[in-house]
A and B are shown apart, each in its own frame.
Chain A
Amino acid sequence: MSATAATRPRPGAGTPPPRTAAARRRMLGLDRDAWFLLLPALIPVLVLSVGPLLYGISLAFTDAQSGVTRSTSFTGVRNFADLRLDSLFWDSFRIGLVWAVCVTALQLLLALGLALLLNQNLRFRWLARTLALVPWAMPEVVVGIMWRLVYNPDAGILNNTLRHLHLTSGHTDWLSSLSLALPAVIVVGVWFGMPQTTVVLLAGLQNVPLELHEAAAIDGAGAWRRFTTVTWPTLKPVVLSITALNFIWNFNSFGLVYVLTSGGPGGKTRLPSLFAYEEAFRYGQFGYAAAMGLVMVAVVAVLLTVFLRNRLKEADQ
């Protein structure tokens, strides 16, 4: 096990140790080797990721359809002009934003609370740590199925518990209700995504200097004061990057909601990725669906730029 200890990444291991000029020259002189080493990864990435992406972007400007022998022709921005008037798409887009913002925000708040708790010396901490990792390991299809069992109007545990507590009549059909389906689905999204965020934040908390905490406590700073002045400054970059990533993942999420509601009832939970999937693989409109994908990327990119601009500014200074 000594090898394990030696290779475990340590804080500070990321900065390269100072090298002599000769060593650096040797490193630079071997750049051909670098290409050689990168090649096995580069080829599949170029052929199956970068290439298809560029192809996909170009498809957005054509009338490509699936399984049609007729040749595809360039149609300029017509797809986007159609998309602008497609109110169903914009409904779906709005739902996607609500879903992504709610899930990301709740995930962050709950994960932050849990991470702070797990950072304390509490009993049963191990149980929470273990349990928190389980959702992360589960296939999203299974998570969807599991919550369908929970939400089941007759045999589900949620209605049953509410009935016993005399809170509701206990016959709510959570996933088929026009008003409740989206919140119900958001809860599942939070449950599924919270663990990963917790682990990342917990890792970030390990970097908070303990001496500062103790010094602040001796000076009479309360828990909240210590959090805002000591913990938060260290944690902020981690929070920003995990929130940005979570937002992207949530906005593009597909499988969970596909299994839970398939976008129903009445399209109330139809995320943009579900909408584009149906357009592409049910109706065969490849070009139009690609245009939707492009609009999704554009919006995510703009939101992220706004969100991350402050951080980038800080990094530049």
Chain B
Amino acid sequence: MSAAVPASEQAAPRPVPLPQPAPPRRKLGRRAGRTGQYAALLCYLVFLAFPLLWLVSTAFKSPRELGSVDPTWLPRHPTLGNFRTALDEQPLLHAALNSLLVAGAAALVSVAVAVPAAYAMVRFKGAVSRAGTGWVLVSQMFPLVLVIIPLFMVLKNLHLIDSRPGLVVVYVVWTLPFVLWMLQSYVRAVPVSLEEAAAIDGCGRLRTLRSVVLPLLAPGLVATLMFAFVTAWNEFFFALVLLKTPEKQTMSVILTHFTGAEGAADLGPLAAASLLATIPSLVFFALLQKRLVGGMLSGAVKG
């Protein structure tokens, strides 16, 4: 070991016996560590990416290729046939429209009712806001089954079963905890001094909220809207229970109709339809990427 110690280090003014063997080992260790880190990163990349690649590849394979015993990673003759078959077999476009309407309306309403509430919960520290925060946490704990049974009965009395507006209402309530939680972190970032200045200038509280706080919240609002939209677009359980008529069903539910048939040739349209269903969420997530990580920075760590 001592032979590996560089001359400069041996000539250090006051050689202390203990730390001396450390530097070369650390340097070697660091290089090995780096290699190890890249190897680990590669493993993660493979684990994360291979199901995605397989889905994409399956979506572009011809039925004959899908039936072959020795499938390849990449389609030999990429084709759009699966997409056409998928669109023919199931009312995908109609389902996408349903999803778009339901998720869009739910996201808008949810954020609209949550903005004043999030503001009140941050600025008025009292029993109400503590109860609100408590509810946000507790509502996460209940299994959906316990929520859906009474909800089903309530909605039935209101004639909102098997109806898209009924699903919107459910999604509003269901996305609220997360929307509130996200918005609160944005409201906290608005300096109180700005509001106080507005108050001194004679603004009422609602006026302050509208013309001072809201403009500053705008980027956060957009991010929250997109997140609520993606959450509602991806939702499956409530849509499965509440929508029975195929013409009203959303994308998630329609996708499960493909899974009945198990033949290898049907895998292609299934993969193609799945890809189509993921596009809107992916687009929004690409736009949100920085903000999500940033939002987590303030929200999660504070928790």
- Chain B residue with minimal CB distance to A217? B26
Question: CB within 8 A of A237: which of B237, B299, B303?
Answer: B303
Question: For the complex, is B251 an interface residue (Cβ under 8 Å from A)?
Answer: yes
> Which B163-208 residues have a C-beta within 8 angstroms of A?
169-170, 172-173, 176, 180, 185-186, 188-193, 196, 199, 205-206
Contact in complex: B135, A45 (CB < 8 Å)? yes
Question: For the complex, is A215 an interface residue (Cβ under 8 Å from B)?
Answer: no
Write out the residue numbers on chain B whose beta carbons fall within 8 Å of the beta carbon of A297. 141-143, 146
Contact in complex: A138, B302 (CB < 8 Å)? no
With A and B bound together, what is the CA distance between A9 and B44 in angstroms? 30
Interface string of A123-143 (1 = CB under 8 A from B): 011011011111111111110
Question: CB within 8 A of A13: which of B38, B143, B188?
Answer: B188
Query: In the complex, how many residues of chain A place their beta carbon closer than 8 angstroms to a beta carbon of chain B?
Result: 118
Stretch at the interface among B6-14, B75-83, B214-222: B214-222
With A14-B302, A142-B255 in contact, do A40 and B71 touch (Cβ < 8 Å)? no
Interface extent on B, as a size class? 35 or more
Contact in complex: B44, A114 (CB < 8 Å)? yes
Contact in complex: B216, A6 (CB < 8 Å)? yes
Question: For the complex, is B132 an interface residue (Cβ under 8 Å from A)?
Answer: yes
Question: For the complex, is A174 an interface residue (Cβ under 8 Å from B)?
Answer: no
With A and B bound together, what is the CA distance between A299 and B123 in angstroms? 35
Give the most central of B124, B129, B251: most A CB within 10 Å: B124
Contact in complex: B289, A130 (CB < 8 Å)? yes
Contact in complex: B236, A255 (CB < 8 Å)? yes
Contact in complex: A37, B40 (CB < 8 Å)? no
Contact in complex: B140, A139 (CB < 8 Å)? no
Write out the residue numbers on chain B whose beta carbons fall within 8 Å of the beta carbon of A220. 19, 22
Contact in complex: A122, B128 (CB < 8 Å)? no
- Chain A residue with minimal CB distance to B293? A199
Question: For the complex, is A252 an interface residue (Cβ under 8 Å from B)?
Answer: yes
> Which A6-39 residues have a C-beta within 8 angstroms of B?
6-11, 13-14, 16-17, 19, 23, 26-27, 30-31, 33-38
Write out the residue numbers on chain B whose beta carbons fall within 8 Å of the beta carbon of A252. 142-144
Contact in complex: A248, B140 (CB < 8 Å)? yes
Contact in complex: A53, B147 (CB < 8 Å)? yes
Question: For the complex, is A229 an interface residue (Cβ under 8 Å from B)?
Answer: no
Question: For the complex, is A145 an interface residue (Cβ under 8 Å from B)?
Answer: yes
With A and B bound together, what is the CA distance between A307 and B200 in angstroms? 48
Write out the residue numbers on chain A whose beta carbons fall within 8 Å of the beta carbon of B149. 56, 59, 280, 286, 289-290, 293
Interface string of B23-52 (1 = CB under 8 A from A): 000000100010001101100110111111
Question: For the complex, is B112 an interface residue (Cβ under 8 Å from A)?
Answer: yes
- Chain B residue with minimal CB distance to A26? B199
With A and B bound together, what is the CA distance between A4 and B8 in angstroms? 50
> Which A262-302 residues have a C-beta within 8 angstroms of B?
272-273, 276-277, 280-281, 286, 289-290, 292-294, 296-297, 300-301
Chain A nearest CB from B286 CB (Å) reads 8
Question: For the complex, is A49 an interface residue (Cβ under 8 Å from B)?
Answer: yes
With A and B bound together, what is the CA distance between A127 and B45 in angstroms? 8
Question: For the complex, is A99 an interface residue (Cβ under 8 Å from B)?
Answer: no
With A10-B298, A133-B292 in contact, do A128 and B44 touch (Cβ < 8 Å)? yes
Contact in complex: B189, A8 (CB < 8 Å)? yes
Contact in complex: A4, B219 (CB < 8 Å)? yes
Give the most central of B48, B124, B255, B284: most A CB within 10 Å: B48
Contact in complex: A293, B298 (CB < 8 Å)? no
Give the most central of A40, A122, A142: most B CB within 10 Å: A142
With A and B bound together, what is the CA distance between A122 and B142 in angstroms? 41
Write out the residue numbers on chain A whose beta carbons fall within 8 Å of the beta carbon of B154. 48, 51-52, 55
With A and B bound together, what is the CA distance between A200 and B48 in angstroms? 17
> Which A104-155 residues have a C-beta within 8 angstroms of B?
110, 113-114, 117, 120, 122, 124-125, 127-128, 130-142, 145-150, 152, 154-155
Contact in complex: B51, A150 (CB < 8 Å)? yes
Interface string of B266-303 (1 = CB under 8 A from A): 01001100100110011011000100111111111111
Question: CB within 8 A of A45: which of B176, B185, B302?
Answer: B176
Contact in complex: B141, A292 (CB < 8 Å)? no
Question: CB within 8 A of A27: which of B124, B141, B236, B294?
Answer: B124
Write out the residue numbers on chain B whose beta carbons fall within 8 Å of the beta carbon of A272. 143
Write out the residue numbers on chain B whose beta carbons fall within 8 Å of the beta carbon of A169. none
With A128-B41, A154-B69 in contact, do A44 and B142 touch (Cβ < 8 Å)? no
Contact in complex: B252, A134 (CB < 8 Å)? no
Question: For the complex, is A210 an interface residue (Cβ under 8 Å from B)?
Answer: no
Contact in complex: A44, B173 (CB < 8 Å)? yes
Question: For the complex, is A230 an interface residue (Cβ under 8 Å from B)?
Answer: no
Write out the residue numbers on chain A whose beta carbons fall within 8 Å of the beta carbon of B62. none
Contact in complex: B220, A7 (CB < 8 Å)? yes
Stretch at the interface among A73-81, A83-91, A178-186, A238-246: A238-246
Query: Given A7-B216, A49-B135, A259-B236, list of 8 further CB < 8 A pairs?
Result: A9-B298, A10-B298, A14-B188, A19-B192, A48-B172, A145-B258, A207-B301, A296-B143
Q: Which residues of B contact A (CB under 8 A)?
A: 19, 22, 29, 33, 37-38, 40-41, 44-45, 47-52, 54-55, 58, 66-71, 73, 112-114, 116-117, 119-121, 123-124, 126, 128-129, 132, 135, 139-154, 169-170, 172-173, 176, 180, 185-186, 188-193, 196, 199, 205-206, 209, 215-220, 230, 233-234, 236-237, 241, 251-252, 255-256, 258-259, 264, 267, 270-271, 274, 277-278, 281-282, 284-285, 289, 292-303
- Nearest first, the 6 closest Cβ-Cβ pairs linking A and B are A9-B298, A293-B146, A41-B117, A137-B285, A37-B116, A139-B234
